[in-house]
Chains A and B, each alone.
Chain A
Amino acid sequence: MSINKYAYEAIKAVVGEANITDDPADCMGYRSGPGGYESGTGYERVMTRLPGAICMPRTTKDVQEIVKICARYDLAFVPYSTGFYGPRSHPHLDDELIIDMKRMRDFEIDAEHFFITVQPGVVYSQIQQECFEHGAYVVVGGGGAQTSAVANLLNDGWSPLSFRVGLPQRRILGLEMVMPDGEIVKFGSLADSDDPFWGEGIGPDLRGILRGYTGLLGCLGICTKMAIKTLPFQPVVPEMQGVSPDTSLKLPEKRVKWINFTMPSLKSIEDAHIMLGNAEVGGAITKVPTFWRAIAKASCKEEFWDLWLKETEESVANFFLVRVMIIGFTSEEQFDYDYNVLTDIITELGGKERRTKPSDESWFKNADSAGMWLMTGSYVSVDYVMDSFDQAFKQGPNYRDLKDKYTPPLMPDCKDLGWFQSCEMGHLGYYEYLIYWDQREDTNGMDQFYVDSAKMNVRNGAYPALLSSHQPLYLTGPAYGPNYHNWILGLKKIFDPKWLSHPPLPLAHDEFCRRAAWMHDIADWPVPDEFPYPDSLKKKMAAAHGDI
């Protein structure tokens, strides 16, 4: 298996012989899974294919030329930054080209104006340390410090540190894209200058299209450069301490502090989120899944289960802990003020401060997503949503009840309510529901739960984040649009009429549902007899996956 040899030679002329390969062993090194995000799922087994070739461009011009060559030879491609994001960032057709962006790692920091400019090969932990040394910080997305900041911000970008500036699209400033036809589009202030400081203007603000609320996973071209807003921090660079696996950042005690509070009820945790936002103090507030505490305490997988299986539905339902970070952004006095306001709020709500380590193991520089796999081997966030607090608080019970039906194969979690937090200084609620399983189980139930949860949200009128990229577009489009699906497909038709940029997104999950027999009963929404692909893609889909 390989790509068209003329296309290969043309791309080789762009990137150099050392930066392109179609060797079978190299291609195997780029296979999706079998571990990782959505590992072992039906989606992965049904939809992903080995690449036909991989190339590694260095510049935007390289990317532009590669994409034009792809257009000339009708060669489907998928942009790829770190490869962490599971099956959805891997080829779905035979003989696709992976455009691996890791050599694009230019980095500039404008410390005075609090922004950085990066290419897709730069990961969050690198950025965070550079920012620390200039009195700033960035929100390292829950995807983890090992993710490409560009890819993560196009698709995700939340963490408890989103408390102050939550919406990821608000942190994306000037942006450069190579469209599927090879045209370069510059967004925001980059449209008429080289200064990417402003996301909204002068040029069109198309960030919403790119993110499609949460990401189109490279099906509308390739982002080659992004300016990212940084946030003012405090001046002391946190000290790195410990030897692996017990490493953490020692926080400057008079400027940054995580504090855990035991609360009397779930309602009091919810109130703490709202009141802290109203008071406009702090750097983060969150209620995380209860079993994360067991992960943090356990030294290995087996110890995690020793700890977690001592819990019961009752003990989990009656465990109320809220985690807050305060930061002395401007001074120690401001830190003290925030601490006093925080303790007033917690006291009023009947909470009590617990001893908390004076360190950060996760969110600033690690965002320990990799550790999330330890318990079961397989994990996915089935939903994340930014909406009102009201919705964020309600989603926990909704998911808890639905998940029961799919446990097993999902992990027994004692009906934990999941994760919620406050963003935008209390103006937004954030909810995320994470599910875990062992991929060696029959995972059909996991695939069904994913879609069943989308249907649940439609029924409840809850607005989820994973619309076009991760859920069937013909299910969510009519429900949330009513013409959202037509709009997305219209965009695809205009910008990528040959569907070369990561096909068959944005209809990949629709394809999965009609190709996986175990999804047929649950896929009860109307879909057209034929998907609106160009003929060339229909042939490629049939070649890769067979006729419907």
Chain B
Amino acid sequence: MSVIDKNHTDRYDTPEEPFALDINDLGNFRYDMQHCIKCKGCYWVDHTYMPGVHHSVRCPSNLWKEFDSYCAAGKMRIGLGMLDGKVEWSDHLLEIIYACTLCGACDVGCKRNLDLEVDLTLEAMRVRAVKEGAGPLPVHKDIIKKIEKTGNCYGASADRNGWMDADVNPAEKADIIYFVGCSSSYVNQSVPKAITKVLQSADVPYMLMKDETCCGNIPFSVGDLDTAKKIAEANIAKVKESGARVLMTGCAECYRMWKVDYPKLLGIRTDELGFEVKHFIEVADEALAEGKLKLTEPVNRRITYHDSCNVSKTCDPWEPYEGKRGWMGCIEPRLDRRRGKSGLYDQSRELINAVPGIDFAEMPRKKENALCCGGGRGAKQAFPEMAENAARDRIEEVKFVGAGTVVSACPWCLSNFSETAARDGEKIDVLDIAELLAMAVK
């Protein structure tokens, strides 16, 4: 007899409800939407870490537009309205749903207390939008077409390996396969150059993917799961064909796709991919710990670190789940909930602090409380004002701690911070963590 049966739960009549962590059906998250208490843990920085009246918000969407409908608490109510047929599709509703970077701040905030599946609910709302023909937005459809046509989200016809110069020496065969990603291949080419420089200086062999194409981040994020799944299958096949044991990215968006969203799309666990997924931070940190990476050149700067969302609060490994929810909302079988604890918080800081000459300053919003830059998951392409607003708020925080340089671990953050700083005439430098490390190696 279970502990619940011993307690005369026959006196209660809560129905057992089957559900799955499957974003194909918004109905899987009805319980979560019904149980949001509007504490706004999705909006505020963890109260323990609340820095005062400034820098206190962690939701880039609700920072941009302040109506409750733009925070996850409001969206949970809207999602329930969608399920119950009480909300009709409109341009405004699509803005509410898509002006969001799926940064996971709301999810980790909610799991501080309530363990509701907020991020998955937001994803499921987008999938529903696509299934009902309302989404994605025209700009997203255009990006998806570009990916299908050219293999990259910019529609660029140039050689994807155009970033490589004579100093880049990948191995023909290695345990690590470096997935460069669209942004690094075409826009932020200094990042892969820096990554390969650091790897080579540490004597870490790597190979490149033959005929690399987009990771599918934007199709997945806007709810076009069919397209995203095809991309996932093709990319995974390429890694398996290469024989690599580790798929390494230098981009946080790609990292989450490979580590979390591909398994989610395919209904498998992350450890069933057949290879490990690592971000460059992990590889470099391991090399540092083994004494292979030698950071000897001083970098005399006061810098701060921006925890890119997808190497922090969203990157817990994926595990499919199907079960039943019963008495008092308890679920069977048990679930090890994804609460953002796998973030690469320590590794990134170990690397930065190993660089000689660095004067490191933490921003008030750090680690899982960091405010998203606003640049990811297709949100910037559709809502550039939202993305700028988030980056501007974060740059204020960089200045608040007196840093002249902000370092991140994602080329999308790099772009959004750089573009916003340039537009606003801000005198700050924006670097990828690989670029910082590359300065410190001989």
Task: Give the residues in chain B near A369, CB-CB below 8 Å.
Answer: 39
In the bound complex, do residue B53 and residue A302 qualify as a contact, i.e. CB atoms below 8 Å apart?
no
Q: In chain A, what residue has the closest Cβ to B97? A: A25
Asked if B3 and A409 sit within 8 Å, CB to CB, the answer is: no
Nearest Cβ on chain A to B289's Cβ, whole angstroms: 20
- In the docked arrangement, what's the CA distance between A60 and B337, Å? 44
Min CB gap B253→A, angstroms: 22
Within the complex, what minimum Cβ distance (angstroms) separates B106 from chain A? 12
A25 to B78, CA, bound (A): 6
Q: Given the complex of chains A and B, what is the CA–CA distance between A371 and B110 in angstroms?
A: 10
Q: How far is the CA of A248 from the CA of B48 in the complex (A)?
A: 6
B428 interface residue (CB < 8 Å to A): no
Q: Let me know if B41 is at the binding interface, CB within 8 A.
A: yes
CB of A54 within 8 A of CB of B330, answer no
Count, A-B residue pairs, CB within 8 A: 212
> Interface code B29-64, partner A: CB below 8 Å = 1, 0 otherwise?
000001111111100101111111100100000000
Q: What is the CA–CA distance of A288 and B73 in the complex, to the nearest angstrom?
A: 29
A244 touches B111 (CB 8 A): yes
CB–CB B339/A244 < 8 A: yes
Q: A25-B87, A29-B74, A309-B4 are contacts. A146–B48 as well, Cβ < 8 Å? A: no
Contacts of A365 in B (CB 8 A): 47-48, 50
Knowing A128-B50, A145-B50, A371-B113, the reply to whether A309 touches B337 (Cβ < 8 A) is: no
Q: Is the CB of B67 within 8 A of A56?
A: yes
* Chain A residue at minimal CB-CB distance from B345: A243
Q: For the complex, is A453 an interface residue (Cβ under 8 Å from B)? A: no
1/0 contact trace for A410-423 toward B, CB 8 Å?
Answer: 01100000000000
Query: What chain A residues lie within 8 Å of B18 (beta carbons)?
Result: none
CB of A492 to closest CB in B, whole Å:
28
For residue A84, CB closer than 8 A to chain B, the reply is yes
* A301→B53 contact, CB < 8 A: no
Contact B78 A305 (CB under 8 A): no
A residues in contact with B44, CB < 8 Å: 123, 125, 146
B329 at the interface (CB under 8 A from A): yes
Chain A binding site: helix, strand, loop or mixed by DSSP?
A: loop
Knowing A26-B69, A28-B69, A370-B114, say if A243 contacts B37 (CB, 8 Å).
Answer: no
Q: Among residues 384 to 409 in chain B, which have CB atoms less than 8 Å away from a CB atom of chain A?
A: none
**Which A residues are CB-close (under 8 A) to B65?**
18
Residues of B within 8 A of A438 (CB): 12, 14, 327-329
For residue A377, CB closer than 8 A to chain B, the reply is yes
Cβ of B42 to closest chain A Cβ, rounded Å: 10
- Given the interface pairs A105-B53, A240-B49, A243-B341, the reply to whether A377 lies near B38 with Cβ below 8 Å is no
Contact status A29-B78, CB under 8 Å:
yes
- Against B, the Cβ 8 Å flags (1 = close, 0 = not) of A436-474 are 001111100000000000000000000000000000000
Is residue A110 contacting chain B, with contact meaning CB distance below 8 A? no
Contact between A243 and B368, CB atoms less than 8 A apart: yes
A490 interface residue (CB < 8 Å to B)? no
CA A30 – CA B6 in complex, angstroms? 40
- 1/0 contact string of B327-369 vs chain A (CB within 8 Å): 1111100110101110101000000000000000000000111
CB distance from B343 to the nearest CB of A (A): 7
B330 and A126 form a contact (CB under 8 A): no
Interface centre among B49, B78, B108, B111 (most CB of A within 10 A): B49
**Chain A CB within 8 A of B243 CB:** no
Is B88 an interface position by the 8 A CB rule? yes
User: Nearest chain B CB to A425's CB is how many angstroms away?
Assistant: 27
B238 interface residue (CB < 8 Å to A)? no
CB distance from A436 to the nearest CB of B (A): 9
Whether B68 sits at the interface, judged by CB under 8 Å, is yes
B114 engages A23 (CB within 8 Å): no
B11–A408 contact, CB under 8 A? yes
B284 CB to nearest A CB, Å? 21
In the bound complex, CA of A435 to CA of B64 (Å): 37
CB of A17 closer than 8 Å to a CB of B: no
Whether a CB of chain B sits under 8 angstroms from the CB of A24 is yes
Q: Are A376 and B49 in contact (CB under 8 A)?
A: no
**In the complex, chain A residues whose CB is within 8 Å of the CB of B36:** 35-36
Taking beta carbons and an 8 Å cutoff, which residues of A are in contact with B? 18-19, 21, 23-26, 28-31, 34-37, 39-40, 54, 56, 82-84, 100, 102-103, 105, 107, 122-130, 133, 144-146, 240, 242-245, 247-249, 300-302, 305-306, 309-310, 365-366, 368-371, 373-377, 408-409, 411-412, 438-442
Contact sample, A vs B, 10 pairs, CB 8 Å cutoff: A19-B66, A24-B90, A25-B90, A25-B92, A28-B78, A84-B39, A243-B367, A370-B39, A370-B113, A439-B35
